[in-house]
Amino acid sequence: MGVKGFELLEIANKPLIPALMLTAHALCEENLKKSAENGASYYAPKDEIAKIDLFIADVVDAIEKKNKPWVKWFERLGSLYDRRFGGTDWREKGKEFWEKRIRPYLW
């Protein structure tokens, strides 16, 4: 709270520290995509913080298996984002972008 998440993400990227973004007020399509573009391994709303252990495990597991962490993110939170963003249009608008991160789960 009171920190600039994208600045912290940039700092985490320098030594290649996996970063999980949590947000309370900035939950929007633009920030979701910006997080992924800037190297975040996960992007979750703070009201899902009770599941943080699962999110961290997803990232660690993906790294160990040399998979993309966004695949598990989509499995766990894709439908939540569909509801928050009013449907699946956010996926279609960024289809090429998201397909690279979560294929084959998106379409």
DSSP state string for 10-57: HHHHTTT---EEEESS--SHHHHHHHHHTT-SEEEEGGGGGGHHHHHH
pLDDT at 2 over 60: no
- What token pair was written down for 27? 């939950």
pLDDT range class, residue 3, cuts 50, 70, 90: low
Helix (H) or strand (E) holding 87, with range, is none
Q: Which domain range does residue 81 map to?
A: 5-102
Q: What's the domain count of the chain?
A: 1
pTM (global) more than 0.85: no
Average pLDDT score over residue span 76-102 = 91
The confidence score (pLDDT) of residue 67 equals 87
Contacts of 46 (CB under 8 A, 6+ apart): 22, 23, 24
Asked, for residue 107, whether it belongs to a domain, the answer is no
Amino acid at 96: E
Mean of pLDDT values over 18-35: 89
